[in-house]
């Protein structure tokens, strides 16, 4: 994907701030914020990934309760409530 994220590089050379294609990046493609049901801010990190079928167990810290869900593009579009979210997924379809 195209990103301004700093590439993985072990040298101390200057890396210009330009958009480049990054392979194997772990950066989110977008971040959304909206009020949550308990009047706190809900922050959504959007990632575009290809799953290989493996599943790592027991990777969360004791105080974490994150749930990961995998959907096809069509399933994701059908499940989303907000048009801004559907627009973001449509953009991700183009990016992949």
Under 8 Å between Cβ of 9 and 22: no
Rounded distance between C-alpha atoms, residue 24 and residue 22, angstroms: 6
Give me the residue label for tokens 């309760």.
65
Query: Token pair for residue 25?
Result: 């990046």
Using DSSP's 3-state secondary structure scheme, residue 77 falls into: helix
Dihedral (Cα; 47, 52, 54, 56), 10-degree rounding = -30
Predicted confidence at residue 21, as pLDDT, reads 77
At residue 54 the predicted structure's pLDDT band, cuts being 50, 70 and 90, is confident
Rounded distance between C-alpha atoms, residue 79 and residue 73, angstroms: 10
Predicted confidence at residue 96, as pLDDT, reads 63
Quick one: average pLDDT of 34-41?
A: 86
Predicted confidence at residue 79, as pLDDT, reads 94
């Amino acid at each position: 994907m195209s990103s301004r994220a700093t590439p993985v590089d072990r040298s101390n050379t200057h890396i210009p701030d330009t958009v480049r294609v990054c392979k194997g990046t772990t950066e989110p493609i977008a971040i959304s914020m909206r009020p949550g049901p308990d009047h706190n801010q809900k922050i959504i990190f959007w990632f575009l990934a290809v799953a290989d079928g493996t599943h790592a167990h027991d990777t969360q810290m004791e105080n974490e309760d994150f749930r990961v869900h995998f959907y096809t593009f069509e399933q994701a579009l059908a499940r989303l409530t907000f048009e801004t979210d559907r627009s973001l997924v449509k953009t991700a379809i183009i990016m992949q």
